């Protein structure tokens, strides 16, 4: 009797544990300040509302490779994944992400505008739900650039006026575009030129003029550190990183918004989830990408919300108490001259140009 | 009478012939030994040999093209890729039939990314065409040649079809060719354009720098191991902790610490400028290049050299050196002719450890290597996690493995693997 009872109790416990597990949801993101902003703006209110327990995993940098491995192993342990748009396109191409229908699966704006119109052009892939617009731009040391602070992206290529080291990302994306822009190619022609061998050589030749003065970075935290240490006088990185160097750490650094390259970051749901988990992930996405939630995130980090309807709701920074709108890459004062990352182009040419770029670097 | 007993086989206690009995007991012992190591064997097989084998297999596997475009591949066999002309309607019809199925199963873009490794532009060609072709009926909507070319002029380029044909086999040597800066084209095997040749260079650099790192580890580690082995054990233990301390510190922390030390405004440069040895505007470039990688990796791998050397040196009786000296040898002769030859097994073990670890290193070169100090493993990491070209990553990994095995074999021939001792 006693044995049977114990057995039953254990089974019940196991079932209960199973049920508790079913209320867990693993959300993958980039970690650091960015994950914190999502925790405050999305995860905490969602957990409070539904009781779902959200587990954070900071693996977004390897998300594409890991999702592919999970898919091959037939065991997908992630429910919602935060990736940049180009990775979302890759995942969609590989059949590793779920296609989303904005009309039925995303919340409309408060005034009734459909989600598709509210996100507009930012829905760059049928699997991708954008959260934020971020930009890759330059920051410079205000104390090291002399009396004429740079206002033009071509200052990066001007070693006479601004001698010293600059940091650029160790990959062709963005660098090739800036090089062509500063070599006299019109903004609208950049990708047409870059699709040709001559154009690629032209960009590399322009980069060659500053090659000896470049420190190449591979992690987003590198440039802020290099600027703070005075290792470089200017360098490219994500605008949110520069915001924290300038406003939170009070370093003598200023932003050079000129020719900032817009890019997107957002959610995908892995393909191949069980129906129950899929529904939960969709429910989370519906909640976390509505107008108010996207505006809330901007309280914690200086990235622009991806919905047009969220922009007027952006308020003050939660800790610093400063207005966030002027620090957004999308603010009219900052966005006088911007450059839009061409996803289609880089999906096609990334490997080819990367091989050339790495060969050029190794010379 | 005495003869008859000589022909009888020896009988064991249980009545069986002794020979048989012995064989049986030996067999039993062997089975027991095998059973004892079975868990380890199964563990190694499941978690090591099998995954690595299946990863390396990707370097030749290429079923995706013939799986997604089965009819097209068959039809393309009749088409001469070098003719410079487009394939005929039969190929186009077969392709549309395959493609509509692929779009329905949503794996056409996957094929696009596979073929994009061979020729830029295939990815978007497949993605864009997918949307349009999805609505076609392969039975009734033909002919397709004009129709398909109208959706995208890429289909009107014989090159597109040549790439599909060239890479349609179930197995391919294409990844291995790419790994050594060659490529597979419809005209046979060709060298990559010079502007894209990078991998051979990286292989050579990886081997060269690993050798330099191993050599610097020997030079720096030998005296330390000698002191450790010859001090009284109390102070030796203290020194040993100093050797092991960095060993227990996170790799990333140690690498980042080197960054702080070596950078332009870093500790070493600041000190040199303060001492007046280097002028402020001519600070030394000692990071983000090969020098930085060698310094940081030598430091990180040094314990792997010191520990085997130390444990071998401990076994060398100090009396030998004294005997040599009492027989009239100078300090140097006594060391070189008596002590050093006995410590060679430790150097051998340390060198193999350090070299094999160095050749596969990736995180330290990535952080302090800049552009000239990166290894082939950084490229493998790129293809695993960014470009998703796992076939090429597997081919690079396989080559790296072969290089290590060849060097190991050469080492065995020259030094002899029996001469390697860990203590």
What is the residue range of B102's domain? 64-169
Task: Return all residues near B295 (Cβ < 8 A) that are at least 6 apart.
Answer: B258, B262, B286
Residues A256, A239 contacting (CB under 8 angstroms) = no
Q: Chain A within 8 Å of B280 (Cβ-Cβ)?
A: no
Cβ-count burial of B83 within 10 angstroms (0-12 exposed, 13-18 middle, 19+ buried)? exposed
Which of A57, A52, A56 minimizes the C-alpha distance to A21? A52
Distance CA A162, CA B316 (A): 62
Whether A143 contacts chain B with CB within 8 A: no
What is the reported pLDDT for B111? 92
Alpha carbon separation from B128 to B70, B310, B330 (Å, rounded) = 21, 64, 81
Determine the 3-state secondary structure of A273 from DSSP.
coil
Average pLDDT across chain A, whole number = 90
Higher-scoring residue by pLDDT: A182, B386: A182
Residue A101 sits at φ, ψ, to 5 deg, of -100, 110
Asked if A196 has any chain B CB less than 8 Å from its own CB, the reply is: no
| A139: β partners | A235, A255
DSSP string, A336-348: SSEEE--HHHHHH
Per-residue pLDDT band at B320 (split at 50, 70, 90): very high
Task: Tell me how many helices (H) and strands (E) chain A has.
Answer: 15, 10
What does the DSSP assignment read for A70-102?
A: HHHHT----SEEEEEHHHHHHHHHTT-B----H
- Report CB contact under 8 Å: A351, B117: yes
* Four-way CATH pick for A135-263+335-362: 3.40.190.10, 3.40.250.10, 3.60.15.10, 3.90.550.10: 3.40.190.10
For residues A330-347, one letter each, b for 16 or more C-beta atoms within 10 angstroms of the residue's C-beta and e for the rest, the string is bbeebbeebbebbbebbb
B52 and B76 co-located in one domain: no
Does the beta carbon of A218 lie under 8 angstroms from any beta carbon of chain B? yes
Which H helix or E strand runs over B223? helix B199-230
Determine the residue among B101, B196, B378 to mutate to test chain A binding: the one whose Cβ has the most chain A Cβ atoms within 10 Å.
B196
Scan residues 277-316 of A and list those with Cβ closer than 8 Å to B: none
Pick the residue from chain A with its C-alpha nearest to B265.
A231
DSSP, collapsed to helix, strand or coil, labels residue A4 as: helix
Q: Does residue B175 lie in a domain region? A: no
* Chain B environment of A197 (Cβ under 8 Å): 195
Tell whether A72 is within 8 A of chain B (Cβ): no
Same domain for B77 and B34: no
**Contact of A139 with A256, CB cutoff 8 Å:** yes
Q: Does B131 touch chain A (CB under 8 A)?
A: no
Instruction: Please check whether residues B251 and B392 belong to one and the same domain.
Output: yes
Q: Which of A15-29, B140-154, B353-367 has the lowest mean pLDDT?
A: A15-29
Distance separating alpha carbons of residues A208 and A201, to the nearest angstrom: 10
User: Which letter does DSSP use for residue A270 in this model?
Assistant: B
Question: Token digits for A241?
Answer: 């990183």
State the count of interchain CB pairs (< 8 A) between A and B. Answer: 85
| Pair A193, A218: CB distance under 8 Å | no
B223 within a domain of the structure (yes/no): yes
For the stretch B281-297, pLDDT in tens is 888 989 999 999 999 99
Are B150 and B250 found together in one domain?
no
Are B136 and B209 in the same domain? no
Same domain, B92 and B203: no
Strand runs (DSSP E) across B207-331, as ranges?
A: none
Q: For chain B, how many structural domains are there in total?
A: 3
Average pLDDT of chain B is: 90
- Which 8-state DSSP code applies to residue A113? -
Q: What string of DSSP letters covers A163-202? A: -S-EEEESSSTTHHHHHHHTTT--GGGHHHHHTSHHHHHH
Q: Is A361 an 8 Å CB contact of chain B?
A: yes
* B409 and B312 both lie in a single domain: yes
What pLDDT score was predicted for residue A130? 95
Same domain, B251 and B114: no
Residues B222, B340: Cα–Cα separation, whole Å: 10
Q: Which pLDDT does position A337 carry in this prediction?
A: 92
B304 in any annotated domain: yes
Average pLDDT over residues A180-195: 95
Question: Does A231 contact B386 at a Cβ distance shorter than 8 Å?
Answer: no
Domain presence at residue B192: no
d(Cα B299, Cα B246) in Å, to the nearest integer? 9
End position of a domain, from candidates B149, B169, B189: B169
Band the pLDDT of A175: cuts 50, 70, 90: very high
CATH number assigned to the domain comprising residue B407: 1.10.3720.10
Nearest Cα of chain A lies from the Cα of B389 at a distance, in angstroms, of 9
Work out the pLDDT band at A14, boundaries 50, 70, 90. very low
- Using alpha carbons, list the distances in angstroms from residue B397 to A301, B57, B86, B367, B381: 40, 11, 38, 21, 10
Element (H, E) at B191: strand B188-191
pLDDT surpasses 50 at A328: yes
Residues shown for chain B:
423
Euclidean distance between CA atoms B400 and B360, whole angstroms: 8
Query: Domain segments of chain A: what residues?
Result: 2-133+265-319, 135-263+335-362
The whole-number pLDDT of residue B422 equals 66
Least confident piece of the model among A215-224, B159-168, B240-249, B413-422: B413-422
The answer for A 40-69 residues in CB contact with B (under 8 A) is 61-62, 64-65, 68
This complex has an ipTM of 0.85
**Residue B139 DSSP one-character state:** T
Chain centroid to CA B377: how far? 7
For B42, the token pair is 């199964």
**Residue B107 near chain A (CB below 8 Å):** yes
| Segment B60-98, tens digit of pLDDT | 999 999 999 999 999 999 998 888 889 999 999 999 999
Does residue B108 sit within a domain?
yes
Interchain CB contact of B371 with A (< 8 Å): yes
- Give pLDDT tens digits for A104-142: 999 999 999 999 999 998 999 999 999 999 999 999 999
Regarding whether B77 and B146 lie in a shared domain, the answer is: yes
Per-residue confidence (pLDDT) for residue A10, from 0 to 100: 47
The two three-digit tokens of residue A267, written as one number: 């959610």
Residues B354 and B277 in one domain: yes
The number of residues in chain A equals 363
Query: Whole-angstrom Cα distance, residue A144 to residue A141?
Result: 5
> Contacts of residue B116 in chain A, CB cutoff 8 Å?
347-348, 351
The pLDDT score that the predictor gives to residue B423 is 61
Domain identity same for B82 and B28: no
Q: What is the pLDDT of residues B237-283, one digit of tens each?
A: 899 998 888 888 899 899 999 999 999 889 999 999 999 999 988 88
Question: How far is residue A213's CA from residue A227's CA, in Å, rounded to a whole number?
Answer: 14
Tell me the pLDDT band of A19, cut-offs 50, 70 and 90: very low
A208 touches chain B (CB under 8 A): no
Q: Cβ–Cβ of B389/A65 closer than 8 Å?
A: no
Domain boundary residue, one of B125, B152, B169: B169
Give CA–CA dist B66/B63, Å, rounded: 6
B280 & B161 share domain: no
Helix (H) or strand (E) run with residue A266 in it: strand A253-268
For B332, the token pair is: 């140097």
Last residue of some domain: B57, B82, B103?
B57
Q: Which of A215, A348, A355 sits opposite B123 (nearest CB)?
A: A348
Is CATH 3.90.700.10 correct for A2-133+265-319? Answer: no
Is the pLDDT at A2 greater than 70? The verdict is no
The answer to the question of residue B181 being in a domain is: no
Residue A309 has pLDDT above 90, yes or no: yes
Q: Is pLDDT of A239 > 70?
A: yes
Position A18 scores a pLDDT of 43
Q: Is residue B180 part of a domain?
A: no
Supply the DSSP string of A11-56, one letter for each residue: HHHHHHHHHHHHTEEEEE---HHHHHHHIIIIIHHHHHHH-PEEEE
Instruction: Render pLDDT for B138-189 as a digit per residue (tens, 0 to 9).
Output: 888 878 999 999 988 999 999 999 999 999 999 999 999 999 999 988 888 9
Q: Does the residue B194 lie in any domain?
A: no
């Amino acid at each position: 009797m006693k044995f049977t009872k114990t057995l039953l109790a254990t089974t019940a416990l196991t079932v209960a544990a199973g049920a508790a597990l079913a209320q867990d949801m693993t959300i993958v993101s980039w970690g650091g300040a960015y994950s914190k902003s999502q925790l405050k703006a999305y995860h905490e209110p969602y957990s409070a509302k539904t009781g779902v327990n959200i587990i954070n995993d900071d693996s977004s940098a390897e998300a594409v490779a890991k999702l592919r491995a999970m898919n091959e192993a037939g065991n997908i342990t992630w429910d919602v994944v935060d990736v940049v748009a180009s990775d979302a396109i890759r995942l969609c191409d590989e059949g590793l992400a779920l296609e989303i229908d904005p009309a039925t699966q995303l919340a409309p704006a408060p005034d009734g505008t459909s989600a598709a119109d509210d996100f507009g052009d930012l829905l760059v892939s049928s699997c991708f739900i954008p959260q934020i617009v971020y930009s890759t731009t330059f920051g410079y040391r205000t104390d090291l650039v002399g009396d004429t602070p740079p206002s033009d992206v071509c200052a990066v290529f001007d070693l006479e006026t601004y001698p010293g080291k600059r940091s650029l990302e160790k990959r062709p994306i963005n660098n090739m575009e800036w090089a062509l822009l500063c070599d006299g190619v019109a903004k609208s022609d950049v990708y047409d030129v870059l699709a040709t061998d001559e154009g690629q050589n032209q960009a590399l030749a322009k980069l060659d003029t500053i090659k000896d003065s470049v420190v190449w970075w591979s992690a987003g935290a590198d440039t802020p550190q290099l600027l703070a240490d005075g290792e470089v006088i200017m360098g490219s990185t994500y605008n949110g990183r520069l915001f924290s160097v300038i406003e939170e750490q009070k370093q003598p650094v200023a932003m050079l918004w000129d020719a900032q390259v817009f890019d997107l970051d957002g959610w995908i749901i892995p393909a191949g989830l069980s129906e129950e988990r899929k529904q939960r992930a969709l429910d989370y996405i519906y909640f976390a990408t509505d107008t108010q939630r996207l505006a809330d995130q901007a309280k914690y980090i200086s990235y622009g919300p991806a919905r047009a309807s969220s922009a007027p709701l952006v308020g003050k920074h939660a800790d610093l108490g400063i207005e966030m709108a002027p620090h957004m890459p999308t603010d009219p004062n900052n966005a006088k001259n911007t450059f839009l990352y061409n996803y289609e182009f880089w999906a096609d040419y990334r490997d080819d140009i990367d091989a050339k770029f790495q060969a050029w670097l190794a010379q | 009478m005495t003869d008859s007993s000589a022909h009888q086989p020896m009988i064991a206690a249980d009545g069986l012939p002794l020979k048989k009995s012995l064989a049986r007991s030996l067999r039993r012992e062997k089975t027991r030994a095998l059973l004892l190591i079975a868990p380890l064997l199964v563990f190694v097989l499941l978690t090591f040999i099998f995954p690595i084998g299946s990863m390396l297999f990707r370097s030749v596997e290429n079923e995706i093209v013939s799986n997604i475009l089965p009819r097209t591949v068959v039809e393309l066999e009749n088409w001469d890729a070098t003719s410079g002309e487009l394939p005929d309607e039969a190929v186009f019809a077969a392709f549309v039939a395959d493609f509509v199925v692929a779009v329905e199963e949503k794996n056409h873009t996957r094929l696009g990314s596979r073929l994009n490794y061979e020729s830029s532009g295939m990815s978007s060609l497949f993605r864009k065409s997918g949307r349009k072709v999805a609505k076609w009926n392969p039975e009734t909507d033909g002919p397709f040649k004009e129709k398909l070319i109208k959706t995208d002029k890429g289909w009107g380029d014989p090159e597109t079809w040549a790439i599909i044909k060239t890479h349609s086999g179930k197995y391919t040597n294409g990844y291995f060719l790419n790994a050594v800066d060659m490529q597979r084209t419809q005209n046979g095997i060709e060298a990559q354009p010079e502007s894209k040749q990078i991998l051979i260079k990286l292989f050579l650099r990886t081997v060269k720098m690993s050798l330099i790192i191993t050599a610097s580890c020997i030079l720096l580690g030998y005296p330390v191991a000698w002191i450790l082995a010859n001090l009284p054990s109390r102070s030796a233990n203290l020194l040993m902790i100093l050797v092991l301390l960095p060993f227990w510190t996170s790799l990333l922390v140690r690498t980042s610490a080197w960054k702080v030390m070596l950078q332009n405004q870093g500790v070493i440069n600041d000190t040199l400028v303060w001492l007046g040895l280097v002028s402020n505007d001519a600070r030394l470039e000692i990071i983000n290049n090969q020098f930085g990688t060698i310094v940081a990796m030598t430091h990180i791998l040094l314990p792997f050299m010191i520990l085997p050397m130390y444990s071998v040196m401990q076994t060398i009786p100090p009396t030998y050196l004294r005997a040599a000296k009492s027989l009239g040898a100078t300090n140097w002769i006594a060391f070189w002719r008596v002590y050093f030859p006995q410590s060679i097994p430790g150097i051998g073990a340390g060198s193999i450890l350090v070299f094999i670890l160095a050749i596969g290193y990736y995180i330290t070169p990535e952080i302090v290597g800049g552009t000239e100090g990166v290894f082939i493993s950084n490229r493998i990491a790129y293809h695993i996690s960014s470009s998703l070209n796992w076939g090429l990553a597997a081919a690079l990994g396989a080559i790296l493995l072969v290089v290590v095995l060849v060097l190991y074999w050469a080492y065995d021939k020259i030094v002899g693997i029996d001469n390697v001792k860990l203590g």
